[in-house]
Amino acid sequence: MFGLTSNDIGIDLGTASILVYIKGKGVVLKEPSGVAIDRNTNEIRAFGEEARLMIGRTPGNVVAVRPLRQGVISDYTVTEKMLKYFIHKAVGKRTLRKPRVAICIPSGATEVEKKAVEDATEQAGAIVLGTIEEPVAAAMGAGLEIQKAFGNMIVIGGGTSDIAVISLGGTVVSTSIKVAGDDFDEAIVRYMRKKHNLLIGERTAEEIKINIGSAYKRPELLTMEVRGRNLVTGLPKTIAVTSDETLDALDETAQQIVEVVHSVLERTPPELAADIFDRGILLTGGGSLLSGLDQLIEEKTGIHTVIAEDPLTAVAIGTGKYIDYIIGEEGKPKKRF
């Protein structure tokens, strides 16, 4: 039997992270989707975690970039090289045949953006088995019974926020907005500049978001020391920031996500809306880890909202499972959603 081998993989090509899933092994690779490039020679110096550590700390000739922005490719050539590196790292360079890949895309991706992802994956040395929309992949990875005739609502956030209602293995209503984890970081940077005259970098903003960030008032106040550059004196400065301040900083961005969830519910057929009211809303992706986002959505919609058991890997696992639907026992395409 030809079937699935270690060369059949699912890739969650995210703005913040890339995850690679191999059937029978699970998620074998999870690294930041960053690349460090030498601008003088145009050579790539590092990928993934090594490149992430360089952000904001590189000499003038080395720039650390994310080749994907808001869920889509912003730099085709660099994305191709990054994919090649991660695919080889996951399956090994010693292989008799090209790896076969299923890859996820945001639900709002255009045909041009979808083609760009497929072309970059093929140029990286893989055979593209198919693409799957992120909400469907996340629902599969989270264990939802998406093939049955009842409604499931899923909210996934990372580089973009995809909100979708899924039934019978397909998307019934969906919206993708370019507001998610990166925008939370930017909101914190703006808040620190405006409120404290303190300039901080992306990494520091992300640390604030992870450690004390909140979209809903926490039961107890958390405090964190933050270092940055004083915009008045130009000198380094350390201040204490509270979780209540992050609530103010993140409120506008979090409300945008809530508004889109509300608009998707308004467009959902009545029977499926009733299912969602009974079954609840599922949050997944990196954005779901923002403390209190589930409580905020539940308060504003009146629908029970829960976070997936493993929100960071749900899309990758679902993308890997998707191969089961598109590859038959003899290695030939079987069926698609």
What does the mean pLDDT of the chain come to?
A: 86
pLDDT given for residue 331 in this prediction: 53
User: Do residues 329 and 3 make contact, with C-beta atoms less than 8 angstroms apart?
Assistant: yes
With 70 as the cut, is the pLDDT of residue 332 above it? no
Most confident of 53-57, 111-115, 203-207: 203-207
* Least confident piece of the model among 25-29, 41-45, 157-161, 333-337: 333-337
Most confident of 81-85, 93-97, 155-159: 81-85
In this prediction, residues 187-195 reach a mean pLDDT of: 96
pLDDT given for residue 329 in this prediction: 46
pLDDT tens digit string along 17-47? 889 998 778 889 998 888 988 888 888 889 9
pLDDT given for residue 162 in this prediction: 87
pLDDT given for residue 234 in this prediction: 95
Name the DSSP letter for residue 56. Answer: T
pLDDT tens digit string along 244-268? 999 999 999 999 999 999 999 999 9
With 70 as the cut, is the pLDDT of residue 163 above it? yes
- What is the C-alpha separation between 311 and 136, in angstroms, rounded? 14
Q: pLDDT-derived band of residue 209, with 50, 70 and 90 as boundaries?
A: very high
pLDDT given for residue 94 in this prediction: 57
Most confident of 88-92, 172-176, 295-299, 308-312: 295-299
pLDDT given for residue 66 in this prediction: 80
CA distances to 16, 86, 110, 227 from 160, rounded to whole Å, are 10, 22, 14, 28
pLDDT given for residue 156 in this prediction: 83
With 60 as the cut, is the pLDDT of residue 280 above it? yes
Beta-carbon contacts of residue 130 (< 8 Å; ≥ 6 apart): 102, 322, 326, 336
Percent of the chain at pLDDT > 90 equals 40
Name the DSSP letter for residue 210. Answer: H
Per DSSP bridges, beta strands 100-105 and 8-13 are parallel
Q: pLDDT-derived band of residue 2, with 50, 70 and 90 as boundaries?
A: very low
pLDDT given for residue 77 in this prediction: 85
pLDDT given for residue 133 in this prediction: 87
With 50 as the cut, is the pLDDT of residue 3 above it? no
Q: pLDDT-derived band of residue 105, with 50, 70 and 90 as boundaries?
A: confident
Q: What H or E segment, with its residue span, contains residue 224?
A: strand 223-230
- List, in sequence order, the alpha helices (H) in the chain: 48-52, 76-91, 111-123, 134-141, 181-196, 202-212, 243-266, 270-279, 293-301, 314-326
pLDDT given for residue 276 in this prediction: 95
In this prediction, residues 328-337 reach a mean pLDDT of: 50
With 80 as the cut, is the pLDDT of residue 7 above it? no
